Amino acid sequence: MSQTRILSTLGPASDNRETLMEMARNGLSGVRINTAHADFSYISKVKDLVDYVNSNLKTFLSIQVDLKGPELRVGDLSQPVQIKEGSTYALSESGIPVNRTSFFTSLKKGDSLVIQDGKYQFTVMEASASAVKVKAINSGQIKSRARINVPGVKIEMGTLTERDLKFIDAGTKSDVDFYALSFVQSREDMWKLQDSISAAGGMAKTVSKIETKSGYAEIAAIAHSSDMVMVARGDLGVELPISEVAVAQKRIICETHREGIPAIVATQMLESMVQNDVPTRAEVSDVTNAIFDNADVVMTSEETAIGKYPALAVNYLREISEYAEKAVKNLPEPDQFLGNQIAYSVCKAAKVMADKLSAEHIVVFTKSGSTARMMSSLRPQAEIVAVVTSDSLARKLFMVRGVKVALLPKDLEKSVGVIEAFKHIEPLGLFKAGEDVVVASGAPYFLFGGTNDVRVVSIGEFIGRGYPEGESVKGRCKFEAGDKGEILFSDSIPESVGAGTKVVITTKFLTASRRASLKDQGISSIVLTQVARAPRKNEMLSVNCQTGVITSLESVN
């Protein structure tokens, strides 16, 4: 699975068990419901589908509900309106009707207004509460229900519609994981969304969609008030000159990442795959550049909602992401992180330790998910394993870049220490026998929450620990130099330690000259070893000569 997460819009092409199962196998992380094309009952249908896939594949797909928010559109027309360059027109009840007139008072002479996904441009000549007089910049034909955008003007028309609130209620009943708000213009919009989710009894995270010029101008404040930010390039490409969209994407991702907020890149990523079974080279470059920009999530829309190849589109996104991730290293860390600064410092220390050890995994015990998100924002090379005791949190963290999830029973949350917890984690098959993992947790108090501890844990049954020198070794234990085996475990170390011996372990002291002599022969040593359990003859052991820890490889499932 790629570190970059994949979010896909569901629709007629994909909202069935067979297709969604295939998409999940191909690397899907979460599904999106576009409420512009759905009714309230669709949420429960998708919830049943996602639960089925999660149960059968032992995965943690999440659900994001995309709220329309208040939008401006041309009203119903008896026939299309012909527009001629240079002519003037009125947006009014008797002219070109619109679905709401409350935004008229926000306009002034000289403002730009665009209709039908940016296709037709107008300049405002004058505005009143009942009508707006505009001059056409180009010619064409306006159709019923065409979208209206007013680039750069903050439109006062509310944050959530009654329909949006009903979707929040329906989503809360189905325990959805994220709500995305369209046309966000300020942090206050996100606060209102959070208040509405809370009032409905929900705990879902919030996603701000940056798709207006006014929202783009407020990106730092909006990101500060969001759990995730989406670069919604469709309407953003209408509000901004299209030549500026790519740079805007980079700036939005940069601003959100400054404070460790994940970013989603959306719209037309593999749009050709609505019809074709292979993406264009330009689309592959687009996805790659989003990852180079430091995006956390890439998203499909029509490709998976109505396209012919929804599962294949997900597969291509995963393949492109995996290759791009190998090519880009040392992505920037956040300037700061919104949250516990002690926990953030522990996460930074865990990243340094993992780099020094070349550890493949960093394990974080987390109650709220904050530590896992902190760890992800630091972009370690090691894979992050978030240990949680909540299904809901597991789904939310499955959408976080580079995070795998280990779900433990709820009753373990306050009852286990680090080593005991690993006895429950190891059977999940996430780690190799003898592997060293870096662990961030709340030890010595409750493991989950209040992160303030970082340590290295060797996977396997703990045998003992001493003072190491040389290279780490895995092999079979022996007690006599003449026996077969790579690991000589003895308090009587002869001058000749036997052919094939790679490390000697003793509870006694060895002089510096004796250890140097062994090292010159390519033989490591562990001295003054404290033994928790005596090893067995021919038992497979792992001897870590960085930490001095000795573990049994035979106890790992």
**What average pLDDT does this structure show over 363-371?**
93
Residue 13 pLDDT > 80: yes
Question: Could you tell me the fold of the domain covering 461-552?
Answer: Glucose Oxidase; domain 1 (3.50.30)
**What average pLDDT does this structure show over 371-380?**
94
**pLDDT for the residue 467:** 96
**What average pLDDT does this structure show over 481-500?**
91
For CATH 2.40.33.10, list the domain ranges present in the chain.
81-149
> What homologous superfamily does CATH list for 341-458?
Pyruvate kinase, C-terminal domain (3.40.1380.20)
Residue 416 pLDDT > 80: no
Contact 544, 472 (CB under 8 A): yes
Write a three-state SS string for 35-91. Answer: HHHCCCHHHHHHHHHHHHHHHHHCCCCEEEEEECCCCCEECCCCCCEEECCCCEEEE
**What average pLDDT does this structure show over 102-117?**
92
Residue 44 pLDDT > 70: yes
**pLDDT for the residue 308:** 98
**pLDDT for the residue 88:** 96
Radius of gyration of the chain (CA): 29
Tokens describing residue 6: 């994949």
Q: Which helix (H) or strand (E) covers residue 455, if one does?
A: strand 453-458
Residue 556 pLDDT > 60: no
**CA-CA distances (angstroms) from residue 522 to 66, 486, 500, 506?**
61, 12, 11, 17
**What average pLDDT does this structure show over 358-386?**
94
Closest by CA to 314, choosing from 2, 4, 5, 6, is 6
Cα distance between residue 174 and residue 196, in whole Å: 16
- At residue 451 the predicted structure's pLDDT band, cuts being 50, 70 and 90, is confident
- At residue 118 the predicted structure's pLDDT band, cuts being 50, 70 and 90, is confident
Tokens describing residue 530: 């404290």
* Maximum distance among all Cα pairs of the chain, rounded to whole angstroms: 104
- Quick: pLDDT tens for 222-263: 999 999 999 999 999 999 998 999 999 999 999 999 889 999
For CATH 3.50.30.10, list the domain ranges present in the chain.
461-552
Residue 335 pLDDT > 50: yes
Which one of 3.40.50.620, 2.40.33.10, 1.10.3720.10, 2.40.420.20 gives the CATH number of domain 81-149?
2.40.33.10
Residue 555 pLDDT > 70: no
33 versus 70: which is more confidently predicted? 33
**pLDDT for the residue 216:** 96
**pLDDT for the residue 169:** 97
What is 247-262 written as a DSSP string?
A: HHHHHHHHHHHTTT--
**What's the mean per-residue pLDDT of the chain?**
93
- At residue 557 the predicted structure's pLDDT band, cuts being 50, 70 and 90, is very low
Of 66-70, 310-314, 383-387, 392-396, where does mean pLDDT reach its minimum?
Answer: 66-70
- At residue 348 the predicted structure's pLDDT band, cuts being 50, 70 and 90, is very high
- Quick: pLDDT tens for 254-302: 999 988 999 999 999 999 999 999 999 999 999 999 999 999 999 999 9
CATH class of the 5-69+158-327 domain in this structure: alpha beta
Contact 314, 280 (CB under 8 A): no
Residue 180 pLDDT > 50: yes
- At residue 71 the predicted structure's pLDDT band, cuts being 50, 70 and 90, is confident
Contact 405, 397 (CB under 8 A): yes
Contact 164, 200 (CB under 8 A): no
Residue 10 pLDDT > 50: yes
Of 15-19, 38-42, 97-101, 328-332, where does mean pLDDT reach its minimum?
Answer: 328-332
**CA-CA distances (angstroms) from residue 311 to 32, 306, 390?**
15, 12, 28
Residue 195 pLDDT > 70: yes
Q: Which helix (H) or strand (E) covers residue 440, if one does?
A: strand 436-441
Residue 458 pLDDT > 50: yes
For CATH 3.20.20.60, list the domain ranges present in the chain.
5-69+158-327
Q: How many CB atoms lie within 10 A of CB 476?
A: 18
pTM of the shown model: 0.90
